[in-house]
């Protein structure tokens, strides 16, 4: 599974066996309190999800608990 995060004219990619693993591998430094789009690509399907500034900040948080909850919530939206 491949995850592409579009944040300010930049694209960040991560690959994993499932959505949670790929989301955990995203590594973005800098401006995280912005709107973003995340594209989840599986073998035969693709899904684009809009993330609010708060959701983006939580997904890219350095705090392990906040990030874990955000990844779990986003993974549930993907399925």
pLDDT digits (tens, 9 = 90+) for 22-69: 999 988 877 778 899 999 998 888 999 999 999 999 998 889 999 999
Note down the domain range covering 60: 2-78
DSSP string, 10-66: EEEEEE-SSHHHHHHT----S--SS-EEEEEE-SS-EEEEEE-HHHHHHHT-SSHHH
- pLDDT (0 to 100) of residue 9: 87
Looking at the 3D structure of the chain, how many domains does it have?
1
Q: Tell me the sheet residues that pair with 51.
A: 36
């Amino acid at each position: 599974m491949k995850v592409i995060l579009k944040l300010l004219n930049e694209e960040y990619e991560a690959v994993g066996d499932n959505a949670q693993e790929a989301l955990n591998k995203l590594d973005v430094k800098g401006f995280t309190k912005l709107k973003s789009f995340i594209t989840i690509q599986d073998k035969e399907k693709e899904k684009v999800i809009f993330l609010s500034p708060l959701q983006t900040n939580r997904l890219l948080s350095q705090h392990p608990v906040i990030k874990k909850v955000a990844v779990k919530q986003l993974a549930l939206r993907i399925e």
